[in-house]
Amino acid sequence: NAGVTQTPKFQVLKTGQSMTLQCAQDMNHEYMSWYRQDPGMGLRLIHYSVGAGITDQGEVPNGYNVSRSTTEDFPLRLLSAAPSQTSVYFCASSRAGGNGGYTFGSGTRLTVV
Amino acid sequence: KQEVTQIPAALSVPEGENLVLNCSFTDSAIYNLQWFRQDPGKGLTSLLLIQSSQREQTSGRLNASLDKSSGRSTLYIAASQPGDSATYLCAVGEAAGNKLTFGGGTRVLVKP
**B82 preceded by cis ω (within 30°)?**
no
pLDDT score of A40: 77
Of A40-49, A89-98, B68-77, B93-102, where does mean pLDDT reach its minimum? B93-102
pLDDT score of B96: 57
pLDDT score of A1: 63
For chain A, percent of residues with pLDDT exceeding 90: 88
The distance of B107 to chain A (nearest Cα, Å) reads: 12
Regions of chain B short of the pLDDT cut 50: none
> What does the alpha-carbon distance between residue B91 and residue A94 come to, in Å, rounded to a whole number?
14
Instruction: Give the β-pairing of B106-111 and B10-14.
Output: parallel
Residues 57-86 of A with CB under 8 A from B: 58
The distance of A62 to chain B (nearest Cα, Å) reads: 17
Q: What is the mean pLDDT of chain A?
A: 93
pLDDT tens per residue, range B79-97: 999 999 999 999 999 865 5
The confidence band for A39, taking pLDDT boundaries of 50, 70 and 90, is confident
